[in-house]
Structure 1
Amino acid sequence: MLLVSGCGSAPAEPPASPPTVQVWPPFDSKRARTDRGLLVKVQGGTLTQVLVYEGGEPVPGKLDDTRTTWRTDWTLRPGAEYTVTATATREGAPATVAMGRIRTRTAARTFQVAATAPLPGETVGVGMPVVIDFDAPIEDKAAVERALEVRAESPVEGAWRWTSDTQVVYRTRRWWPSRQRVTVTAHLAGVRAGDGLHGATDSTFSFIVGRRQTSSIDTRTHQMLVLRDGKAAQRMAISAGMATTTEYTTTSGIHLTMDKGNPVRMISPGREKGDPGYYDLMIDHAVRISNSGEYVHAKDNVWAQGRSNVSHGCVNARPDQAAWFYATSLRGDPVTITGTDRVLEWDNGWGFWQLPWEKWQQGSALREMRDAGGWVPKR
């Protein structure tokens, strides 16, 4: 029997299809929207590299866990050109490299940050809020709030609260940890804040949280205790408001030092020259703690300090001790006053710590959207 053998070959596997990359807004867009950012997606593979530049600067963005979607961290700048290079791979297939340009539309109306507290580079107390004022009323507060970023070297929980259509305030749940840098960035460029209103530019600033100085004032015992990093730094005999009228009653609650002057002109509220109780005085070493005319300041009435309340609503102390408090105070130092029947309103000056944390959070536009069952996209 003759056995015949031969050789043959199995049919070759067809090469895998290369992955498909999609970019939104599409390449060559001339008037792309700014408020939805830039998105890169791949089908049939994974993204190995995404490079996006605007004005020669890299644009930050993130890949998802599956490495199939990349999106910018923030919105796009109006009237800007973006270059995109996205590389996707798939085993057994050639790589796909998508390259192109996108231009965003210009904004009909723009808004930006008009003022901030703290000031850039300022050293502040542990109770300091972050206050941002805008130069136009904000309609879509959630969109703007989503663009605000607070980064601290020692992070703590905090939340934004809108106090008006042009102002938003960030407060921590507890005092800031002392001696650290905090950086605030408003990623506003391209954010849609209302009909035809978009953010013009990003804004960033940093400040320093200094030593931890807190003060407690008891209007019943007429004493003030200043603690520095938990240790007694000064004990002061004081005189508070005489409480014959509402405006002459010192407010009880958690105040923050707001600013100071030496001297400060103080004029009696609601009274004209010649009226009973009228005064117009220059007061030394005055540290403001509310918007209703309350200061901790110097006054040479040592006969009352430590004994009785005879002021027009302020807290006064011996001139040398008031000068010490003036010299050592930073904006945002907590001053807690007890013993009167007039409560500090949360929106009187920086009385923000008067609100319990849960109520403070209710002023967040993002919290309001979540509570209403709305969609709050992640960054």
Structure 2
Amino acid sequence: MSRLVLAVLLTWCAVLSAGCAVRVPPAPRITIAPASGTAEAPPDAGLVVRAEGGRLTTVLAFAGRDPVPGAFDPSRTVWRSSWTLRPGTQYVVDAVATGAEGVTGQAAASFRTLRPRREVAVASVAPYDGETVGIGMPIVVTFTRPVEDRAAVERALEVRGPVEGAWRWPGPAQVVYRPRRMWPANTRVRFTAHLTGVRAGPATYGSADRSVAFTVGRAMVSTVDTRAHQMVVRQDGVVTRQMRISAGMATTREYTTSSGTHLTMDKGNPVRMVSPGRREGDPGYYDKLIGYAVRISNSGEYVHAMDNTWAQGRVNVSHGCVNVRPDQARWFYDHALRGDPVVVTGTSRRLEWDNGWGYWQLSWPQWLAGGAPRPARAAPP
């Protein structure tokens, strides 16, 4: 073999040997925030996992023994916890990402969230869990302390139902959800306050979540015409009862039945009714036990039983309530659900929006004006 041929062969061997060398691409880089070892992570920042040079394949996170819900972004390069984190809790995270040519990267972290100086929780919710309500029913959430960051708390309040709605704050420790239009009959709604870890104010965080599921029943709407002295009850658009009534005598403001869209709030049999602002012996004083009473405001208005058939259908003589025959009052008492609309017309007094559950007195723009800067809306069913 000539020296020239040998040189060519050696050159080709060198080229082939170099071409056979394997270049392994770098593994994806994963970052976890809060960083591992953090001792007082802010709960309201949530948990975020990012991948550079690859796509996240799995993210497992636990708060103690409880899994942490979260979701990937469309590119699967970012995973975020669905809600804020639990205060004073140890978290562990494991994440895996896949890059070019199937090369994987892995990261793990362990951190603890801070323990707040003050906590806020849900003190009560109306309706209660499992309740069947009327089509006008609001969701009334009362907190254990005033809320300063209302927007942050609103973002943590989730309503899953079939209509659009929004929150309004009647006071610093209470928020109310009302649909834009009344609930459709025979539907289900779930409310969840994802309050855990939400920063409700300086050094104040939510301490626990709260969830309530309720059913909207049949559509029962009652109309009260105080001039015609009649009350008509419709269920799902069909007239089921026509009742003669006697409304407020209107000699004073408190003895005038308020016009507007009321909602039934609670009921009792009997209910003790005492004249407002009067003592025994004063003109107009009364203290009576009234049967089959369904409350429709906070100013003492009820639909209730009264055996004064001489006035019912003819003249208004009550102290502001709507009274009907005892047998008809019992029927209404038995069939009324919390949140049933009672629409009163014909008087000089207008129902205030914050008198009981007079929330339907406000237009939709007026209702939105009482919410935080970013009002919540119902999630799709």
- TM class, shorter-length: over 0.9
Secondary structure, counterpart of 2:261 in structure 1: strand
Partner deviation per Cα, 1:204-251 (whole Å, 9 max, x = no partner) = 122221111111111111111111111111111111111111111110
Matched residue, 1:61: 70
Could you tell me which amino acid in structure 1 is paired with residue 198 of structure 2?
V
**Identity of paired residues, percent?**
58
1:83 matched to 2:92: yes
Could you tell me which amino acid in structure 1 is paired with residue 187 of structure 2?
Q
1:107 matched to 2:119: no
Matched residue, 2:32: 23
Q: Does the CA contact (< 8 Å) of 1:145 and 1:366 recur in 2? A: no
Secondary structure, counterpart of 1:139 in structure 2: coil
1:332 matched to 2:339: yes
Q: TM-score, normalised to structure 2's length?
A: 0.93
C-alpha displacement of 1:356: 0.4
1:40 matched to 2:40: no
Matched residue, 2:257: 250
Partner deviation per Cα, 1:171-207 (whole Å, 9 max, x = no partner) = 1111112223322111111111111111111111222
Secondary structure, counterpart of 2:103 in structure 1: strand
* In structure 2, distance between residues paired with 1:261 and 1:88: 62
1:150 matched to 2:150: no
Secondary structure, counterpart of 1:308 in structure 2: coil
Q: Between Structure 1 and Structure 2, whose CA radius of gyration is higher?
A: 2
Matched residue, 1:238: 245
Secondary structure, counterpart of 1:142 in structure 2: helix
Matched residue, 2:284: 277
Matched residue, 2:307: 300
Q: Alignment length, in residue pairs?
A: 366
For 1:1-379, list aligned pairs within 5 A: 6=9, 7=12, 8-9=15-16, 11=19, 12=21, 14-92=23-101, 94-152=103-161, 155-367=162-374
**Structure with the higher fraction of residues in helix conformation:** 2
* In structure 2, distance between residues paired with 1:282 and 1:39: 60
Secondary structure, counterpart of 2:255 in structure 1: coil
* In structure 2, distance between residues paired with 1:356 and 1:13: 70
Unaligned runs of 5+ in 1: 370-379
Secondary structure, counterpart of 1:35 in structure 2: helix
Secondary structure, counterpart of 1:307 in structure 2: coil
* In structure 1, distance between residues paired with 2:120 and 2:243: 47
Unaligned runs of 5+ in 2: 377-381
Secondary structure, counterpart of 1:77 in structure 2: coil
* In structure 2, distance between residues paired with 1:281 and 1:46: 73
Deviates more, 1:202-211 or 1:29-38: 202-211
Partner deviation per Cα, 1:339-371 (whole Å, 9 max, x = no partner) = 1111100000000010001110111113389xx
Could you tell me which amino acid in structure 1 is paired with residue 219 of structure 2?
R
Q: TM-score, normalised to structure 1's length?
A: 0.93
* In structure 1, distance between residues paired with 2:339 and 2:160: 18
* In structure 2, distance between residues paired with 1:225 and 1:117: 27
Could you tell me which amino acid in structure 2 is paired with residue 227 of structure 1?
R
